[in-house]
Amino acid sequence: RIIVVSIHQPRYSIYKQFDSLTLLSQGNMVYHGAIKETLPYFTNLGYFCEEHDNPADFLLDVINQCEGLTSATANLLAIESEMVPIDMSDSYLKSRECGDTRREYDRIIERLEKNERGVRFSGLRGKYATNFFWQLFIVMIRSIVN
């Protein structure tokens, strides 16, 4: 079952139940991928989350580029002992995770184009229990209702 959720500052018990995560900053995607790859991705950018910190809080602090941080969290975001903002959207566009997302998108588009030529769409089976069109339909209905 697919559930699309938008949560601001989820507690850890909720965060750890996600399979994948999309992070946006000022309308730009700064990360999309498996939840288990999120912290290693940000570690590669130079942002380290300590073992007992809530990853969701840590990610919000990183994305907000250190604005209004508590001193404890600010210490976690130190890059070589000084705060250095980076263009996370640009970093994401150059990342392996972005390449994976683009390949998945291209695969879906290719299947859709084949479907327009009379090929059965049932071959588009992802790794999720509910197909893409049903998910899209539900999200559209929810958008209309809200």
pLDDT tens column, 7-45: 777 888 888 888 888 888 878 889 998 899 999 999 988
pLDDT at res. 37: 92
* Residue 1: inside a domain: no
* Residue 36: inside a domain: yes
**Total structural domains in the chain?**
1
* Residue 5: inside a domain: no
Can you say whether residue 16 is alpha, beta or left, with left for phi > 0 and alpha for psi between -120 and 50 degrees? alpha
Residue 47 belongs to domain spanning: 12-145
* Residue 123: inside a domain: yes
| Distance separating alpha carbons of residues 54 and 73, to the nearest angstrom | 10
pLDDT at res. 125: 54
Judged against a pLDDT cut of 80, whether residue 122 lies above it is answered with no
Q: Which of 40, 44, 70 lies closest to 57, judged by CA?
A: 70
The pair of structure tokens assigned to 32 is: 């999309």
| Distance separating alpha carbons of residues 27 and 16, to the nearest angstrom | 24
**Global pTM value:** 0.58
The pair of structure tokens assigned to 139 is: 């999200």
* Residue 6: inside a domain: no
How many Cβ atoms from other residues are within 10 Å of residue 51's Cβ? 4
* Residue 111: inside a domain: yes
* Residue 35: inside a domain: yes
pLDDT tens column, 69-105: 444 555 555 544 444 446 778 888 888 888 888 898 8
DSSP bridge pairs for 28: 25
pLDDT at res. 94: 86
* Residue 2: inside a domain: no
